[in-house]
A = this chain, B = another copy of it.
Amino acid sequence: MIYLNDFELFPHLRRISPSWQNYVAHPFVEGIRDGTLPDKAFRYYLGQDYLFLIHFARAYALAAYKADSLSDIRDAALGMSTIVDTEMALHVEYCRDWGLDEPAIESLTEASTTMAYTRYVLEKGHQGDLLDLYVALAPCVIGYGEIGARLAADTTARRNGNPYSSWIEMYAGNEYQMAARTHAQTLERLWLRRAAKGRLEDLSQVFEEATRLETEFWQAALDAV
């Protein structure tokens, strides 16, 4: 997690968030680390994550709308295209490997925990500015990078026969790590341009709420078993 040392805003928000450790070391994540997460919990998670991705693409669309420089518009547009052109197809393929075909996915009911997180992010994006929106997205985008990197480096993580190895590899991989780092960079740039120390309190509330809602997203998968 090299970016923890390069930036000011994200490491600060992460450090003061009461829920961060609950989130990144949630029993769901532990179940992925040692391979004990029940199949059914993971399948539930995959289905909700598909629905999540649709709103995640919409969040980047909102970011592109809210940007006021051409380079910020391009960054957000790239984020959005990556989701709708690449990630969703990969996700559908991945779901299929786990026995969830496209009709099954499309008939899913969106859980209220999925709604809570996605609509919170989108609504905060409308209420606030581009910085608020990127802060609300950070626990997800950067948090998954932190989890992936940690699990890949963890010598106690189960390697052989862990059904979740590919999940760990994806989020520990170079491509995802770069995306997480880009998010942290944008966050820092917006922080320097649009905020001041006085705004830290509001931003840390946004970060904390988003982190808490992400934690409940994991929990819902465990509760579904």
A residues within 8 Å of B by Cβ? 54, 57-58, 61-68, 70, 73-74, 76-77, 80-81, 84-85, 88, 110, 112-113, 115-116, 119-120, 122-123, 126-129, 132, 192-199, 202, 209, 212-213, 216
Contact = CB atoms under 8 A, between A and B. Distances in A.
Complex copy number for this chain: 4
A112 B212 contact: yes
B58 A70 contact: no
A61 B77 contact: yes
Given A58-B67, A64-B64, 16 more contacts: A57-B77, A58-B73, A61-B80, A64-B80, A77-B77, A112-B112, A112-B113, A112-B212, A112-B213, A112-B216, A116-B119, A122-B123, A192-B198, A193-B202, A194-B195, A196-B198
